[in-house]
């Protein structure tokens, strides 16, 4: 079951106000709260349905979680597989975020650091926000040219969530 606030089928005018040349016709897009976390070194989701080309691990992998207690034992979470989550960017590109599937996590986290490290064309990333609770995750080349960006919105508890659509994988055919 897809847990999202909105499903939409792409046509030549959606998302509103954005060109759709790079988005396959008849694609299914969803809006989903994905946290932009500049401190995360991996992107992870509890929603297997947003992963393209999903491959289960033969054995669970363990992801270390951030600990504020200073304890020597760091909490671990099981990752059961990996895939690619495709976000529609502000430029209507489709950045592929390598994504691990962590079914017991509380949601989706996008790591701009992991995405930047996995791409040859990007050299740096920036995350910026303003007092009007709007921001962006931006990716630049070595000449500081903006290559791509993903819109962000700030929640009342100061988390920055992506404001762009996610492209769902095509339905499996028997």
As given in the structure block, the two tokens for residue 106 are 């509380």
Least confident of 26-30, 41-45, 142-146, 170-174: 170-174
Return the ∠ at Cα 22 (arms to 34 and 36), rounded to 5°: 15
For residue 174, being part of any structural domain is answered with no
Residue 7: predicted pLDDT: 40
Write the pLDDT tens digit of every residue in 97-130.
999 999 988 889 999 999 999 889 999 999 999 9
Number of domains in the chain: 1
Model's pTM, two decimal places?
0.79
Is the link from the previous residue into 15 a cis peptide, with omega within 30 of 0? Answer: yes
For residue 1, being part of any structural domain is answered with no
Write the pLDDT tens digit of every residue in 31-51.
788 889 888 888 999 999 999
Least confident of 22-36, 51-65, 107-121, 143-157: 22-36
For residue 97, being part of any structural domain is answered with yes
Determine the structural domain holding residue 33 and report its residue range: 6-167
């Amino acid at each position: 079951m897809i847990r999202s606030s909105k499903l939409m089928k792409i046509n030549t005018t959606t998302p509103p106000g954005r060109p759709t040349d790079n988005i396959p016709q008849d694609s299914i897009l969803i809006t989903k709260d994905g946290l932009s976390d500049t401190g995360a070194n991996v992107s992870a989701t509890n929603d297997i349905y947003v992963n393209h080309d999903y491959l289960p691990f033969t054995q669970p992998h363990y992801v270390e979680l951030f600990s504020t207690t200073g304890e020597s034992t760091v909490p671990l979470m099981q990752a059961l597989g990996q895939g690619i989550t495709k976000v529609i960017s502000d430029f209507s590109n489709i950045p592929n975020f390598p994504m691990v599937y962590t079914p017991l996590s509380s949601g989706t986290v996008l790591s701009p650091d992991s995405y930047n490290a996995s791409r040859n064309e990007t050299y740096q990333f920036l995350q910026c926000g303003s007092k009007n609770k709007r921001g962006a995750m931006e990716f630049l080349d070595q000449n500081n040219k903006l290559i791509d960006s993903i819109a962000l919105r700030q929640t009342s508890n100061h988390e920055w969530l992506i404001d762009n659509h996610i492209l769902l994988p095509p339905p499996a055919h028997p």
